[in-house]
């Protein structure tokens, strides 16, 4: 996958991505030769030790969980190779390369496509209903007052609870962000600066939430891949056993 190939796992973040790549590879390999006659519910033990019930994940002659990214991989692998030589000649710069490489589809998209193909695969919901048990609509955004910026540029909450955990429904305007006067009524440079600051804070806040949501989806996606790998491995084993049995039956007896 290009997003792995181009980042050589220097840090744990990218190592994470690499293991995700391995997982995706596993699923595509394990799933490539299967797809019929599986039990409705399979009990599978994950590498982590926990046992999961997976329902009909591999029943259909399905495309792989990661089929679309995989197709990209093939494209990219060839492109990347040619790129290497091209780079040696100094023909294609990194920007152009970026343009060639297609973007990885979102986890939501991948998983939802999968779930529409395959029953038993959970859909990633559009708006998750507060899994932390925090009721929606109780948010109180006291944003700037309890936050200071550290020497490293990070924002830190001064209270017990980090400010970022205090959230509002994504559609609503954060309460801490007071709507400034309409742009038409802005006059002084100071007002303009305040408006710019306010916009920035709003953008950062939204992005913060988006990043959290994105990570949550990614985890869900990885979980899904893990259970799929486990199921496919079980089925693969069964098929191999079945094959051996059939071989025994069909092979001419040598006595």
Partner DNA sequence: AGTATTTGGCGTCAGCATAT
Partner DNA sequence: ATATGCTGACGCCAAATACT
Name the site residues for DNA (rule: CB under 7 A): 3, 6-7, 10-17, 95, 98-99, 102-104, 106-109, 150-155, 162-164, 170, 204-208, 210-215, 217-219
Taking the complex as a whole, the smallest distance from the CB of residue 34 to DNA amounts, in Å, to: 26
Nearer to DNA, 37 or 169 (CB): 169
Residue 45 CA to residue 26 CA, distance in Å, equals 16
State which residue, 128 or 237, has the beta carbon closest to DNA.
128
Which CB atom, from 26 or from 217, has the smaller least distance to DNA? 217
Looking at the Cβ atoms of 163 and 235, the one nearer to DNA is 163
Nearest approach in angstroms of CB 130 to DNA is 14
The CB-of-6 to DNA minimum distance in angstroms stands at 5
Contact residues for 15 (Cβ-Cβ < 8 A; gap 6+): 9
Nearest distance from C-beta of residue 43 to DNA, angstroms: 24
């Amino acid at each position: 996958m290009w997003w792995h190939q181009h980042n050589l796992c220097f840090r744990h973040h990218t190592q994470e991505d690499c293991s995700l790549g391995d997982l995706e590879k596993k699923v595509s390999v394990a799933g490539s030769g299967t797809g019929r006659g599986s039990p409705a519910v399979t009990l599978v033990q994950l590498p982590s030790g926990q046992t999961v019930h997976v329902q009909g994940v591999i029943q259909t002659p399905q495309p792989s969980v990661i089929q679309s990214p995989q197709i990209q991989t093939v494209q990219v692998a060839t492109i990347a190779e040619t790129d290497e030589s091209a780079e040696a000649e100094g023909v294609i710069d990194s920007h152009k390369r970026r343009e060639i490489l297609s973007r990885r589809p979102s986890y939501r998209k991948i998983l939802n496509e999968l779930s529409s193909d395959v029953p038993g695969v959970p859909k990633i919901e559009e708006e998750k209903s507060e899994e932390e048990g925090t009721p929606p609509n109780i948010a109180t955004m006291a944003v700037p007052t309890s936050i200071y910026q550290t020497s490293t540029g990070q924002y830190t909450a001064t209270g017990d609870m980090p400010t970022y955990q205090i959230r509002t429904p994504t559609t609503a305007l954060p309460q801490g962000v007071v709507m400034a006067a309409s742009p038409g009524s802005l006059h002084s440079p100071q007002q303009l600066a305040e408006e710019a600051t306010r916009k920035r804070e709003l953008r950062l806040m939204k992005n913060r939430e988006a990043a959290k949501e994105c990570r949550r989806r990614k985890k869900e996606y990885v979980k899904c891949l893990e259970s799929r790998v486990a199921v496919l491995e079980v089925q693969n084993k069964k098929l191999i056993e079945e094959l051996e049995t059939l071989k025994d039956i069909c092979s001419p007896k040598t006595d």
